[in-house]
Amino acid sequence: PETGAFFSSQDADEAFYRLPPDERARRVPPAVDRTVISEYNGRAASALAAAHGAFAALIRAWAETGAECPQVP
């Protein structure tokens, strides 16, 4: 959504997602419940923040060794 939040659910229409993109574009997509559940959005944001902190600490520790930090392709 425009807010960056996660919606609560979407109908499971497996046949729709098996279609090629051009055929999907001509069909009505599965219904989406646009209710934003703040608990799950908060958990996702907390997890992303924790991952950022963990990786930042790892990169700082690696930099302190003087070794070159490996690049991810």
The secondary structure of the chain as a DSSP string is -TTSPPEEEE---HHHHHS-HHHHHTSPPPPEEEEE-HHHHHHHHHHHHHHHHHHHHHHHHHHHTTPPPPPP-
pLDDT given at position 65? 84
55-72: per-residue pLDDT in tens? 888 888 888 887 776 776
26-36: per-residue pLDDT in tens? 999 888 888 77
pLDDT of 18 above 80: yes
Sign of CA dihedral 34, 35, 38, 40: negative
pLDDT given at position 27? 92
pLDDT given at position 19? 92
> What is the DSSP annotation of 25-43?
HTSPPPPEEEEE-HHHHHH
